[in-house]
Structure 1
C-alpha cells in the first residue's frame, strides 16, 4: 500500500490523462462486443458532445486543483479531519484500512452526497439535467457534465477533503477510481444479471446505475452512488429494474435532437424551469 500511495502522491498529469482516455477506450471497445442496447445512433457523433463536456470538466478541475492541494496540506499540517484523527487515535491501523476509509468517505461526500443534493435542490438540478438528457447512455455519458455542474461537484469534493483530512495521495487515488468506475457503470455493456447483482453489493454496477437514468420518477431519484454501493443501501435510495425495460433521458426534455445540440445543452440551466411531470412510474 505504501508503494501505491507513493505513486499517487506524485502521479504525473500524463498518467492521470492516460487513466481517463484509457478507460474510455477500454469500455468503448467492450460496448461494441457485448452491448446492452444496440442504439440506432452514430456513436462518434454522440461521443463528440460528451467529450466536449469531458474537456470542460478537465479545465474546471485543472483551474481549481490548487484549492484541493492547499486544503489537503492544511488539514495534514494541522491534524484536522477524520483521517488525521484516526491516525492519531489508532496509529497501529493498517494502511489498507486507512486508505479504504479515506476513499469511501470522499466517495460519500464528493459523489453520493453531491449527486443527492443536485436532485433535491432545483438550482443544482438545472445544471445536472444536462447529464440526464442523454438518451443513449454509454461510457462517454460518465463525463457529460455542464461546466456549472463541474464547479458544484468540485465544491463538494473540496468539502470532502476538508472534512476527511485527506492527504494528496488518497485524493488522487480516489479521483482515479472515480473516473474509471463512472465510465464502467455508465458503459452500455450487457453483464449477466446475477454477476451484476453480486457486483452491486460492493460497487456501483452498470445495471444498478442505469436505473438512475430511467426517464421518470421515482427511478431517477435512486442509485446515486459512483464507486461504492453501500451509500444507496444505507440511505435506502437503492432500486432495481430490469435493464431491458429502461428508457433513458428525462421526461421534461424528451426532444432527442435538442438533447444532442451543444448550444441547447449549454442553455438548459438558464431556461425556464421544467419541474418533473411524472411523479410515479406506472411500469
Structure 2
C-alpha cells in the first residue's frame, strides 16, 4: 500500500492522461462486443460534444490543481481532518477511509446537491440530456459543473484531511468508475447485482439516467454504493425499461448539439417535482 501511495503522490501527468484515454478506449471497444442497448447511431458524431466536455473538464482541473495541492499540504501540516483525528490505524485502512469519504463529498454530496438546487440542476442537465449513454457520457459536464465538482472535492480534501497521494488515487479510481458505469455494456445480472452491494455498478448507475422521476433522483454514488444505501437514495429498475434523457427536455437534436448544450444551463426549464407533473 505504501508503494501505491508513493506512486500516486508523484504520478506523472502522462500517466493520468493514459488512464483517461486508456479507459475510454477500453470501454469503447467493450461496448462494441457486449452492448446493453443496440444504439443505431454514428458513435463518433455522438462522442464529439462529450469528448469536448471531457477536454474542458481536464483543463479546468489542471488549472485549479494547485488549490488541491495547497489544501492537502495544509491539512497534513496541521493534522487536520476526519481521518487525522481518528486513532492510529493501519495504512490500508487510512487510505480506504480517505477514498471513501472523498467519494462522499466529491461525488455523492455534489451530485445530490446538483439535483436539489434548481440553478445547479440546470447546469447538471447537460449530463442527463444524453439520449444514448455510453462511456463518452462519463465526463459530459458543462464547464460550470466542472468548477462545481472541483469545489466539492476541495471541500472534501479539507474536511477529510487527505494527503495528495490519496487524492490522486481517488481521482484515478473515480475516472475509471465513471467510465465503467456509463459504458453501454451488458454484464450478467447476478454479477452486476453482486458488485452493487459495495461499488456502483453499470446497471445501478443507469437507473439514475432514466428519464422519469423518481429514478432520476436516485443512485448518486460514483465509486461506492454505500452512501446511496445508507442515505435512502438507492433504487432499482429493470435495465430493459430504462429510457435515457430527461422527459421534460426531449429534443435529441438540440441535446446533441455542442452549441445548444453550452447554452442549456441558461434556458428557462423547470424540473418536475412529482410524478403527476409528468402525466
Q: Give the TM-score taking structure 2 as reference length.
A: 0.98
Deviates more, 1:40-49 or 1:166-175: 40-49
Q: 1:101 aligns with which of 88, 97, 121?
A: 97
Q: Deviations over 1:145-201 (max 9, x none)?
A: 000000000000000000011000000000000000000000100011111000000
Structure 1 partner of 2:70: 70
In structure 2, stretches of 5+ residues that fail to align are: none
TM-superposed deviation, 1:278? 5.8
Aligned pair 1:120/2:120, yes or no? no
In the TM superposition, what is the alpha-carbon distance from 1:10 to its structure 2 partner?
0.2
Asked if residue 36 in structure 1 is aligned to residue 36 in structure 2, the reply is yes
Partner in structure 1 of residue 247 of structure 2: 251
The aligned residue for residue 275 of structure 2 is: 279
Q: Kindly tell me: are residues 137 and 278 of structure 1, through their superposed partners in 2, closer, same or farther at Cα, counting changes over 3 Å?
A: farther
Give the length in aligned residue pairs: 279
Q: In 2, are the aligned partners of 1:5 and 1:170 still within 8 Å (CA)?
A: yes
Offset of 1:102 from its aligned partner?
0.2
Cα offset, 1:83, TM superposition: 1.8
Q: TM-score, normalised by structure 1?
A: 0.96
Measure, in 2, the Cα distance between the counterparts of 1:147 and 1:282.
29
* Cα drift, residue 209 of structure 1: 0.2
By how many angstroms is 1:251 displaced?
1.1
* Contact kept in structure 2, 1:216 and 1:281, CA below 8 Å: no
Aligned to 1:130: 126
Give the whole-Å Cα distance in 2 for the aligned partners of 1:17 and 1:237: 33
Deviation >3 Å, runs of 4+: 280-283
* TM alignment of 1:112-261, pairs within 5 A: 112-261=108-257
- Could you tell me which residue of structure 1 aligns to residue 107 of structure 2? 111
Aligned to 2:80: 80
| Paired residues of 1:216 and 1:280 also in contact (CA < 8 A) | no
Structure 1 position 281, deviation (Å): 9.9
